């Protein structure tokens, strides 16, 4: 967008200079054309004028009897050619200015469209960034929550491993000493029976 602005600024500067140059050219040519028209358009010139009106048709030996004869009047053709040439240059200048204005309008329209599209793209990208930032924050929060749950689960598993170890030790002790404890229980039961018999006989 910065580069496009620089290019557009340079193009506009060239356009302004071109318009100024053409307007100056047209002003000069218009003045010249008006002056040339005053000189050539309405005045009639004789290519070969005769003697002044007061001069007669006589010679140095013949006094003559009337004014001298004049050639036929006509417009000088060179004047019309110059007028046409100036008019052609003036028309070309106006055409160049018109084409320049059209090109300037077209370039300005393209530049404005480009800037509008670029601004819309920036706005869309900014919204996408905001949305992605929110999604990222939620994902990080979910991740942290999952880590906390994982840590709690691991601690619980470690506690269960401890309980399992204690239960294994207890079960191993019972199994290993089952026979001895069974014999001890049987001996205790026999002793109780004998004690009971003795007490019964004493009564």
Which CATH number belongs to the domain containing residue 109 in this structure? 1.10.287
Structure tokens at 199: 């007490």
Q: Compute the average pLDDT of residues 171-196.
A: 80
For residues 83 and 49, what is the distance between their CA atoms, to the nearest angstrom? 24
Instruction: Among 142, 158, 183, identify where a domain stops.
Output: 142
Q: What is the pLDDT of residues 81-120, one digit of tens each?
A: 888 899 999 999 999 999 999 999 999 999 999 999 999 9
Residue 197 — pLDDT band, cuts 50, 70, 90? confident
User: Is this prediction's pTM over 0.75?
Assistant: no
Based on the domain organization, do 97 and 162 belong to the same domain? no
Q: Compute the average pLDDT of residues 173-198.
A: 80
Please give the pLDDT value at position 73: 46
Whether residue 58 is contained in a domain is answered as no
Give the H or E element holding residue 20.
Answer: helix 2-36
Based on the domain organization, do 93 and 153 belong to the same domain? no
Whether residue 177 is contained in a domain is answered as yes
Based on the domain organization, do 118 and 154 belong to the same domain? no
Based on the domain organization, do 27 and 99 belong to the same domain? yes
Domain ranges, residue 126: 2-47+69-142
Which position has the token pair 């340079």? 10
Structural domain count, the chain: 2
Based on the domain organization, do 16 and 90 belong to the same domain? yes
Based on the domain organization, do 13 and 86 belong to the same domain? yes
Q: How many residues does the chain have?
A: 203
Which position has the token pair 């218009």? 30
Based on the domain organization, do 153 and 77 belong to the same domain? no
Task: Please report, rounded to a whole number, the percentage of residues in the chain having pLDDT higher than 70.
Answer: 80
Q: What is the pLDDT of residues 156-165, one digit of tens each?
A: 999 998 888 8
Burial label, 89 (beta-carbon count in 10 A; 0-12, 13-18, 19+): middle
Q: Compute the average pLDDT of residues 176-186.
A: 79
Cβ(30)–Cβ(94) under 8 Å? no
Based on the domain organization, do 75 and 33 belong to the same domain? yes
């Amino acid at each position: 967008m910065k580069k496009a602005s620089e290019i557009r600024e340079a193009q506009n500067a060239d356009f302004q200079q071109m318009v100024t140059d053409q307007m100056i050219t047209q002003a000069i040519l218009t003045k010249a054309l008006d002056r040339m028209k005053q000189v050539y358009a309405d005045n009639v010139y004789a290519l070969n004028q005769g003697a002044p009106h007061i001069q007669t048709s006589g010679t140095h030996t013949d006094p003559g009897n009337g004014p001298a004869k004049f050639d036929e009047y006509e417009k000088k053709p060179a004047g019309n050619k110059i007028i046409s040439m100036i008019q052609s240059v003036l028309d070309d200048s106006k055409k160049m200015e018109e084409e320049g204005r059209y090109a300037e309008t077209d370039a300005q329209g393209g530049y404005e469209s480009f800037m509008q599209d670029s601004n819309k793209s920036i706005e869309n990208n900014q919204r996408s960034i905001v949305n992605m930032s929110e999604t990222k924050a939620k994902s990080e929060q979910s991740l942290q929550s999952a880590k906390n749950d994982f840590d709690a689960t691991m601690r619980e598993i470690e506690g269960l491993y401890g309980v399992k170890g204690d239960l294994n030790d207890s079960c191993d002790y019972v199994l290993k000493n089952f026979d001895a404890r069974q014999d001890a229980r049987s001996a205790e039961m026999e002793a109780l029976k004998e004690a009971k018999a003795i007490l019964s006989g004493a009564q």
